[in-house]
Amino acid sequence: MALVSAVAASCTPHPGGGAANAPQREEQGPVRTALGAFLAGRLAQGRGDTRAAAEYYSAALKFDPDNMELLQRAFTLMVAEGRMDEASPLADRLLSFDGDAPIPLLVAGLKAAREGRFTDSETHFAALPKRGVFGFLGPMMTAWSRAGQGRTDAALEALAPLGQINGLAAMQAFHSGLINDLADRTKAAEDSYQVALATQLSIRSVEAAGTFFQRNGKPERAKDLYGRYRTEHPESVLFDGQRLLQAGVTVPRAVADSKAGMAEALFDMSSLMRQGNAVDLAMVFSRLTLAVQPDFALAQMNVADILSSQDRQAEANALYRAIDPASPVAVFGRLRSAMNLEEMGQTEAALAELDKFAKDQPDNLDALITKGDVLRRKKRFDEAALAYDGAIKRAGPLGGHHWALFYARGISFERSRDWPKAEADFLKALELKPDQPDVLNYLGYTWVDRGLNLDKARAMIEKAVSLRPKDGAIVDSLGWALYRLGEYQSAVKALERAIELRPEDPTINDHLGDAYFQVGRFAEATFQWKRALSLDPEPEQIEPVQKKIDSGRVPANPLAK
């Protein structure tokens, strides 16, 4: 570790990017310096700092340029950081050693496509491995290369095998629709879009098909499609069908040319990787998407989201703000940017940004909801309730999906010690969405804790447990309800189950201690209370638990031994 630290200090990445501060040759010789930079790169990569890792590996590569492992690592990280100008020559070097290397083939093929050399890009993409994700990415990239050459039929032939792979028929139909649409083959495009939409509605398929219908004089079909998507995704802020409809027949194609089609295919891959929690590959495919189409809003969002998860909030915010303000994705970007400011400790700046957003879009609920969430996390419950109140006033006719608004405001009221308003909100949330387990649990538990409606509360919590049997907090609520009803033995069983599910929860440990005390297991009770204190409980929990430890008893008579 001393070697890594020493070398890291001598080759700190340049704050503006690049390798301006690459390691210098020292008395011990270049090999040892390269080794140190390599180790520093591995350390940075292990910590998720891909920016620093890219710098260290590039620095090491200057002293050992034929080292394949260094070359591969430096190249991959350059792509992950979106530094394509630096990644491109590394891709060429890697391909000179291994002509089947998939990511270098993609980089080389995209470079050719950007330069209008679609025959060359087809050659690169056709060489992609026929296995794994590249087994179906390759045909899509090949198809779009052929479309760029004006070879529409050959492009569709390249896509055809995807229709035989389980789960890929919709993707094959979607890209066939885009290629036919671009070639003005109206009937074929419509047929393909219909197949794609029959399986699953994604934002991109809805936008592509909907704008196709608009341009071809079928606005009602577009309107119905947009309405269907909104019904299935009522809380989505990433799609705005009304904005598209306002453009009428002049609305542009979802994919303007073959390069944009390649970006679409790469974005499909990045989405699949994110769904599978393959974050590194999701970042690579998102960066490649932006390499060929820099203003692809959903890919910008993907990269910014991943940067946020790596605690690179400032960089993420710069990318969120770069999203075209006319895109509905920019709405999400503004919300995420405010949340990042709060995570960076700039709470007042975050709140100011959300206030501005709410003022700019007086019909939008999301800025006020996010403001309420920020204030609630900061335990500013009175202010949070006011923010949620503003969102509820903007909501218009209430639907089932609005239950969460009343639930959040109810929590704020409850924590502000305004129980009548809190109870009313919880009941309203259940009216909008009966049997919602979070609300059933919160209201049931609070009734139990207040000694109110114990039988009804128990039934509500039992329902919540049946819906989420592995949720430790809900199982704890059941145990506490049984405790308050005097069913101590049953309470112990439920609370022991809750501890198995959430062993680090101070409240559950405290409750189990009380239950142990009531069944005469006094030493175990004291152990659980002490454990509760060791688990960072809320400030208001500390004194009551400490009193039980000091006195050796709960404020009730134990069972007889």
Examine the pLDDT at 27 and tell me if it is beyond 80. no
Q: What confidence tens digit (pLDDT) does each residue in 160-211 have? A: 999 888 888 999 999 999 999 999 999 999 999 999 998 878 999 999 999 9
Q: Which long-range contacts (CB under 8 A, 24 or more apart) does 141-145 make?
A: 141/106, 141/109, 141/262, 141/265, 143/175, 143/179, 143/261, 144/113, 144/175, 144/179, 144/258, 144/259, 144/261, 144/262, 144/265, 145/109, 145/113, 145/118, 145/119, 145/121, 145/258, 145/262
pLDDT band with cut points at 50, 70 and 90 for residue 546: very high
DSSP string, 212-229: HHHHTT-HHHHHHHHHHH
pLDDT of residue 228: 93
- Among the residue ranges 221-235, 405-419, 427-441, the one predicted with the least confidence is 221-235
- The confidence score (pLDDT) of residue 10 equals 28
Is 232 buried (19+), middle (13-18) or exposed (0-12) by CB count in 10 A?
exposed
Over residues 429-434, the mean pLDDT reads 96
Q: For Cα atoms 53, 56, 61, give the angle at the middle one, nearest 5 degrees.
A: 120
pLDDT at 477 over 60: yes
CB atoms within 10 A of CB 473: 18
Tokens matching residue 526: 């004291």
pLDDT the model gives residue 110: 97
Q: Which of 43-47, 63-67, 459-463 is the least confident region?
A: 43-47
Write down the pLDDT at residue 34.
66
Distance CA 53, CA 62 (A): 14
Between 141 and 86, name the one with better pLDDT. Answer: 141
The whole-angstrom separation of Cα 175 and Cα 165 is 15
Which pLDDT score is estimated for 8?
Answer: 29
* Mean pLDDT confidence for 215-239: 91
Q: Average pLDDT in the 318-341 region?
A: 93
CA–centroid distance for 74 within its chain: 26
Share of the chain above pLDDT 90, in %: 73
Tokens of 514: 């009380």
Comparing 395 with 50, the larger pLDDT belongs to: 395
234: its two tokens: 């009522």
- What is the pLDDT, as a whole number, of residue 528? 96
pLDDT tens figures, 460-470: 999 999 999 99
Q: Is the pLDDT of residue 506 over 70?
A: yes
Dist CA 87 CA 316 (whole Å): 21
Instruction: Please determine, for residue 2, whether its predicted confidence score (pLDDT) is greater than 80.
Output: no
User: What is the pTM for the complete model shown?
Assistant: 0.79
pLDDT range class, residue 20, cuts 50, 70, 90 = very low
Architecture of domain 435-561: Alpha Horseshoe (1.25)
pLDDT in tens, 242-301: 999 999 999 999 999 999 999 999 999 999 998 888 888 999 999 999 999 999 999 999
- What is the average per-residue pLDDT within 356-361? 93
pLDDT band at 33 (very low <50, low <70, confident <90, very high): low
Q: What is the dihedral of CA 319, 324, 325, 330, to 10 degrees?
A: -50
What per-residue confidence (pLDDT) applies to 31? 36
